[in-house]
Amino acid sequence: MITERSKLSIVILLLLVTVAEQQAPKGKKRAVDPEAYLDACGITLLHGYACQEHSVLTKDGYILKMQRLSGKGRGRSEKAKIGQPVFLQHGLFRSSIDWLINRPDQSLAFLLADAGYDVWLGNVRGNTYSKQHVSLNPTMKRFWRFTFDQMAEYDLPAMVDYVLDFTNHSSLHYVGYSQGNLIGFACFSEAPDWAKDKIKSFHAFAPIAFLGNVKSAFASLRPFFWFLNWMLEQFGKEFLPKRKFVRWLGEKLCAGRAAFLCKNVLLLIGDYHPKSVNATRMPVYLAHSSDGTSTMNVAHFGQLLATRSMQKFDYGFEGNMKHYGQPEPPLYHPERNPVPTAMYCGSDDLMSDQLDVKRLSEQTRNLLGIYEYEGIHHLDFTWGLNVVSTVYAQFMQVLSAQCA
């Protein structure tokens, strides 16, 4: 149970970290597990799988990194035609490592590779793997002027088109987690003809689109909506950057009397059940627990919390007139999504609330099914060991049926 005092401490703490992260100590603590220091391909290769890293250029100049996995024994340079491509997209503050965070028999990317699928891991602008641009750099405010609007408009289409061009397939299966679902619903509803041709099925883990009933610590941002906008105007760059944040967190918060703050920060990033994770891998979870995004994107989530609607970024009256030609930000219309969609939901997910999922499902016209699981929290969908025989097993069955 997160008290109001804890929620307030989380918000203040995270805002201070974002502002002051440049003054964080430069020392590095040695983790027990070497995977805490490896990147996505490093982890993949460590377990004997082949991994390729690909660079994808968006129409507005961002350079995104994708990783491609193939099963053990397959060549790294092989243009695999082993099976249909499956594209996995991470959530907010996350990266492609989410799909590799546990052991191979417990991580979805490895399980899919073992099953013969052509596995592609996406990374949206602003995280560790996607901090390049043809003319901007991360020290510039302009680099960070984006939200999930731009991820849906530019990042997702660019990555999907790249995968299909590279593999010579006409369509792929899309798997989203948390924010990965939000950009999926936004993209597919804004470009339904494109989505109908190129996305064979959409699998939404911990689906979010509406945030009206969020109960996680992330809901703490709702009353601080005005402060987030002020933060955006004053600083407007990166929110929770990976290396400095994790270093500061590990050295200053995760020991002694302040340990409860460390737990609360992880709850803000996404709630999980302590008994569902591999306790011996906490250094790995912590090392990859936050991968940053733009302050503007966090402000956009704050707007969704405040308005309880699925809408584009609100720039204010003058900004909206400039960007949209109307005083209010346009709404997204998930009912325009033409892709066959399956939703996988946890009964104890405080971020993807059942009422919000119900609202979303009622607006999803091509619904394959809603699969609900008892005792599953938000981060369990990627961190949890309890999802392997439940969520992942069900997903594999649904995916196989859509591959026919």
What is the reported pLDDT for 59?
99
Token pair listed for 385: 């060991």
* Amino acid 237: pLDDT: 82
Tell me if residue 378 is catalytic: yes
User: Which residue in 6, 95, 96, 178 is the catalytic one?
Assistant: 178
What is the pLDDT tens value at each position of the chain, 404 positions in all? 455 555 555 555 555 455 444 444 455 444 457 888 899 999 999 999 999 999 999 999 999 999 999 877 444 334 434 689 999 999 998 999 999 999 999 999 999 999 999 999 999 999 999 999 999 999 999 999 999 999 999 999 999 999 999 999 999 999 999 999 999 999 999 999 999 999 999 999 999 999 999 887 667 666 666 666 666 666 668 876 666 556 455 445 544 454 455 555 555 555 666 677 777 777 787 778 778 899 899 889 989 998 999 999 999 999 999 999 999 999 999 999 999 999 999 999 999 999 999 999 999 999 999 999 999 999 999 989 999 999 999 999 999 999 97
Q: Which position among 349, 353, 356, 380 bears the catalytic label?
A: 349
**Domain annotation for the chain: domains and CATH numbers:** 23-240+271-281+294-403 (3.40.50.1820)
Q: Which of these is catalytic: 291, 361, 378, 380?
A: 378
Q: Name the pTM for this structure.
A: 0.86
Q: How much is the pLDDT for 154? A: 99
Contacts (Cβ under 8 Å, ≥6 apart) of 397? none
Give buried/exposed letters for 171-206 (b at 16+ CB in 10 A, else e): bbbbbbbbbbbbbbbbbbbbbeeebeebbbbbbbbb
Neighbours of 238 (CB within 10 A): 23
Q: What's the confidence (pLDDT) of residue 76?
A: 39
Q: Is 9 a catalytic residue?
A: no
User: For residues 55 and 113, is the Cβ–Cβ distance under 8 A?
Assistant: no
Q: What is the pLDDT of residue 230?
A: 66
Phi, psi dihedral angles at 39 (to 5 degrees):
-90, -175
pLDDT at 231: 64
pLDDT of 224 reads: 66
**What is the structure's pLDDT at 377?**
92
Per the annotation, the verdict on 193 as an active-site residue is no
Q: Residue 264 has what pLDDT? A: 54
Instruction: Please tell me the predicted confidence (pLDDT) of residue 271.
Output: 65
pLDDT at 82: 64
In DSSP terms, 203 is beta-bridged to 175, 342
Residue 236 region by backbone torsions, left for phi larger than 0, else alpha for psi between -120 and 50, else beta: left
